[in-house]
Structure 1
Amino acid sequence: MNRLLPRRTAAAAAAVVMCFGLAACGSDSGDDDSMSSNSESSPSASASEDMMDEASGPFGPGCAGVPTEGEGSVEGMADDPVATAASNNPLLTTLVKAVTAADLVDTLNSAEALTVFAPTDDAFAKIPADDLNALLADKDQLTKVLTHHVVEGKMTPDQLAGEHETLAGDTITVEGSGEEFTVGDAAVVCGNVDTANAKVYVIDSVLMP
């Protein structure tokens, strides 16, 4: 009987070793499953980021009038400083004429970061022709009106609501949220447009100081 003990002991030891081996394998499998689960979550996170990027793009009914390609498109404007970008946009020809008359092109283009509330051609057309011509001929008053539309810093839509100091030294008040904002009596018709150094919010009326 004593001769059988070593064999039984050896068999028991072998069984223990096998159990540890199986446990280790099971642990490895769990790690693999965990790694697989983590790797599978990455595409979902990436998709969420893409959706956020899309949601943070331009908004508003007026964006339909922006060219879909070329220098005046949303993508084209993003490459140029703000005054140059505006000059390529067919919605903003009167604004560009006014900025040029006030000698503000270099000032706007060289600024580090701005938010510009840009009146459309239709917005300027609301001003009687004689009054508009008089404004365009008065450089000091024109400069005051135009800089009343500009705020330092690039404001995203979630930063837009509130009272902001303009480059004219006075203030404007923006109300709203999401994709609906008003600036004084003007409504934002195409917002959150990027240029190289500014955020542009196209508005449907000219803001008077």
Structure 2
Amino acid sequence: MRRTTIALVAAAALPLGLAACSSDDDSTDAGDSGNSASEAPQEEPTADQDADADADGGMDTAAEPFGPACSGVPADGAGSFDGMAQDPVATAASNNPALSTLVAAVTAAGLGDTLNTAEALTVFAPVDDAFAAVPEEDLTALLADEAALTDVLTYHVVGERLSPEQLTDGEFETLQGGTLTTAGEGESFEVNGEAAVVCGNVRTANATVYLIDSVLMP
């Protein structure tokens, strides 16, 4: 009778022991699987992916501002290159002493908020001497005509950031709806074959600015 009882107890314990072994094996396998996943090497970004980031977001900031008029930009403060890079484009332009007439025109046309809130722009910004070359009567009339002024100003703006390399032989649609062309190389560029870039690749928080020596007409 004693032997029968021992045999029954052993038989009952056997499935429990097998289940425990099975559970231990499963846990070990799951742990190994988790370790394999966590130890898998992370993929490095490819050169193509880095290039795409630069093209899409205009994130390549390696190139410095260039051109003869860059020497007139303040060395520090809000109007310096570092200071302008912190502000959206209309605000940044207001801190640059060479762009006071352009800023007055932007204000007269009510375009400040439009330019400041855009995600990515290129602005071909006529310096004060460029506006001074426009006959005074014509400039006064332009500043008094909001619709015409808006057309002229938005013709100077492209809805994406453009690098100097893209200006070598470029054709771009402006916010006004017209097209402007660029040509040149190195640190010498022209817009529409008439306006020279006098200080290029100036970065603001949402735009790349090229200061030019002539006012462009649509």
TM-score bracket for this pair, using the shorter chain length: 0.7 to 0.9
Superposition pairs for residues 83-162 of structure 1, below 5 Å? 83-161=90-168, 162=170
> SS at the partner of 1:72?
coil
- Residues 192 and 153 of structure 1, relative CA distance in 2, 3 Å threshold: same
- For structure 2, the residue ranges without an aligned partner over 5 or more in a row are 1-59
> SS at the partner of 1:124?
helix
Instruction: Give the corresponding residue for 1:35.
Output: none
Tell me the amino acid that sits aligned with residue 128 of structure 2.
D
Tell me the amino acid that sits aligned with residue 204 of structure 1.
D
- For structure 1, the residue ranges without an aligned partner over 5 or more in a row are 1-52
Tell me the amino acid that sits aligned with residue 156 of structure 1.
S
Quote the Cα distance in structure 1 between the aligned partners of 2:126 and 2:63: 22
> SS at the partner of 1:187?
strand
The TM-score, its normalising length taken from structure 2, stands at: 0.71
Quote the Cα distance in structure 1 between the aligned partners of 2:102 and 2:213: 12
> SS at the partner of 1:176?
strand
Tell me the amino acid that sits aligned with residue 74 of structure 1.
F
Quote the Cα distance in structure 2 between the aligned partners of 1:189 and 1:144: 23
- State the identity as a percent: 69
Q: CA deviation at 1:99?
A: 0.2
> SS at the partner of 2:70?
helix
Work out whether 1:202 is the aligned partner of 2:192.
no
RMSD of aligned alpha carbons: 1.2
Q: CA deviation at 1:54?
A: 8.7
Work out whether 1:189 is the aligned partner of 2:183.
no
> SS at the partner of 1:168?
coil
The TM-score, its normalising length taken from structure 1, stands at: 0.74
Superposition pairs for residues 21-40 of structure 1, below 5 Å? none
Instruction: Give the corresponding residue for 2:82.
Output: 75
